[in-house]
Structures are given as structure tokens and as C-alpha cells.
Amino acid sequence: NAGVMQNPRHLVRRRGQEARLRCSPMKGHSHVYWYRQLPEEGLKFMVYLQKENIIDESGMPKERFSAEFPKEGPSILRIQQVVRGDSAAYFCASSGYGDSKIGEQFFGPGTRLTVL
Amino acid sequence: GESVGLHLPTLSVQEGDNSIINCAYSNSASDYFIWYKQESGKGPQFIIDIRSNMDKRQGQRVTVLLNKTVKHLSLQIAATQPGDSAVYFCAENIDTGRRALTFGSGTRLQVQP
């Protein structure tokens, strides 16, 4: 299966701990997007990355949240000092489009973060 | 606030009937729209997309209609099946200079056997 991979699928953290969410894009894709989804709501854009570059982080909270997409390895969404309000499903998507028009984004299965 | 919204939070249809899911958008500059299907516990699954230079696009059993005059998007599913039961989201690309998708709040489709 060459789809978008995310792990872990479920993550439980206590308040104040750190959460690390990983995303491996589809083979051949170099564009990665992170979205957050609260129960019964639509997805909210957080950040868009290409290899070693953050292109658009306009949806990312200014504090405690960071993202990276290194030259080698998966993209990482990191949440420091988690709070209960961070509990949500975090989805990663990837696309293979370059500088041309936006195209289809393929989503992974998500990581469900629960903060106790 | 959200620029993409849905009129009906839940739609219940009989198996074999056609389904129509609607979506309103407020940004006339949006140039790209996607419909996603999301089953419980899973990530969004691409259904069909359409660019603003088109008003209709068809796929297998699905049709997307775009009415730019009233800023309305709809998804039509022909011969709805139980496997179509899911939450459906429309998403748009508001800012052509960015790649972020803006999602609506979703419509739950329930297919009665």
C-alpha cells in the first residue's frame, strides 16, 4: 500500500507532556499538509511543508506547535506541553503537484490524540 | 468565519435513491473545490474535484455541480448504496497563492436499506 502513512494511530498523553505525530507521504509526493479535526467538525488547515521547508504555517498555533519535513524520513508534527484542548484527530495529506495549480490532496488515516 | 458551509447536517435516503449534498461558499475567488468522503475513524477519501472554469464534472456514480453565480456546490450520488453512508465534506482553495484547503462542517449521509 503506497498511501499516506501516519503513526501512531492513537496517542494518549497527560497534560504537559509532548506529542509527536509522524507522517510518511505517498511515494513520489514531496508536499505534505497537516490538518486538525475536532469531533463533528471539518478539518482545519495547520501547515504546509515541502522537503526541508515550511511553506505555509498560517494555521499553526504560535506556541507549542511545530512541524518539520526533513530531507530523510517522515514529516513530524510536534506539540509541546499538551493541554486538553489539543485533543483532536490530526490528519496528514500529501500531493505531488509542484508549483502549478493546487491538486488533489491524499489523506492518511489520522492520529487521534487524547490528552488526559 | 468559515467560508464553506453545508445546509443539511444529516441526510437520510433509501438505498437505490439518488442523493444530493449541498455546499455554499462565500469567496468568489475560490478556484478549486473537492468533495471528500469520511467514514468513521478514517481519513477523508477523495471523491471528485472541480475547477472554477467548469460547472459540471462527472465520475463513477457521482456528479459535482458548481454554480458560481450563487456560489453553490453540490454532490450528486446516483443509486445510493449502504457503503455510501459517511460524512461528506466540501473543501475549497480560497487563496490561489496558497495550497490550504478550507473545509465545510460536513453532511452525514445515512442510507437506509
Residues of chain A scoring pLDDT < 50: none
In chain B, pLDDT over 70 holds for what percent of residues?
A: 91
Q: How far apart are CA A107 and CA A95, in angstroms?
A: 9
pLDDT tier, B3 (very low <50, low <70, confident <90, very high otherwise): very low
Mean pLDDT of B66-80: 95
H or E element at residue A53: strand A53-56
Q: Do B99 and A56 touch (CB under 8 A)?
A: yes
Mean pLDDT calculated for residue range B90-105: 83
User: H/E/C letters for each residue in B5-69?
Assistant: ECCCCEEEEECCCCEEEEEEECCCCCCEEEEEEECCCCCCEEEEEEECCCCEEECCCEEEEEECC
pLDDT at B38: 94
**Mean predicted lDDT score pLDDT of chain B:** 88
pLDDT for the residue numbered B91: 92
CB neighbour class for B88 (10 Å; exposed up to 12, middle 13-18, buried from 19): buried
Q: Give the pLDDT confidence score for residue A4 in this predicted structure.
A: 95
Mutate to test the interface with B, among A105, A106, A111 (most CBs of B within 10 A): A105
Is the pLDDT confidence value at B41 over 70?
yes
Question: Are B36 and A33 an interchain contact pair (Cβ–Cβ within 8 Å)?
Answer: no
Q: How confident is the model at residue B22, as a pLDDT? A: 93
| Residue A81, beta-bridge partner list | none
Average pLDDT, chain A: 92
**Gap from B87 CA to chain A (nearest CA, Å):** 9
pLDDT above 70 for B14: yes
Contact A42 B45 (CB under 8 A): no
Query: Which pLDDT score, from 0 to 100, does residue A104 have?
Result: 81
**Of residues B27 and A98, which shows the higher confidence score?**
B27
